[in-house]
Amino acid sequence: MSIEIIKSISDDPNEFDNPQDFIKYYELNKNELSKLSTCALNKKFKIKGYHIGRKKGEVKLIPLNLHRISEYEQHQQDETFDLKLDSINEKINMIQNDLTKLLNIFASLNTNR
């Protein structure tokens, strides 16, 4: 049994500003690039707004979900939400305390009659 040594993928990906430029490049180098996995293609090439996938063995460009946010942005949103929730809970507690005081005042007025 032999183990195949796989070349590492270059650290500097080729970047394309639009899918048409990548498609032209891919068509010129199709024989070499069709042998690579989609993972390798995505590491080797960056196409603005797209990632590379395969469907029925054919390489396809898949639009990135524009609503997907990074983990950092999600964490920031979660922290902001938590702070707002804490503030809302504080206000609810203050209102509950004020209502309790008002009820006590009304109760004492009714007992004094």
- Note the pLDDT tens digit of each residue in 9-35: 556 788 998 999 999 999 999 999 988
CA proximity to 44, closest of 8, 84, 89 = 8
Residue 27 sits in the same domain as residue 58: yes
Residue 99: which domain range? 69-113
Count of the separate structural domains present in the chain? 2
Q: How far is CA 79 from the centre of its chain?
A: 16
Residue 9 belongs to some domain of the structure:
no
pLDDT (0 to 100) of residue 76: 76
Contacts with 10 (C-beta within 8 Å, 6 or more apart), sequence order: 44
CA proximity to 66, closest of 51, 85, 83, 87 = 51
pTM of the model: 0.50
Residue 59 sits in the same domain as residue 73: no
Residue 97: phi and psi, rounded to 5, are: -65, -45
- Note the pLDDT tens digit of each residue in 57-92: 889 998 887 545 566 677 777 888 888 989 999 999
Bridge partners (DSSP) of residue 54 are 59
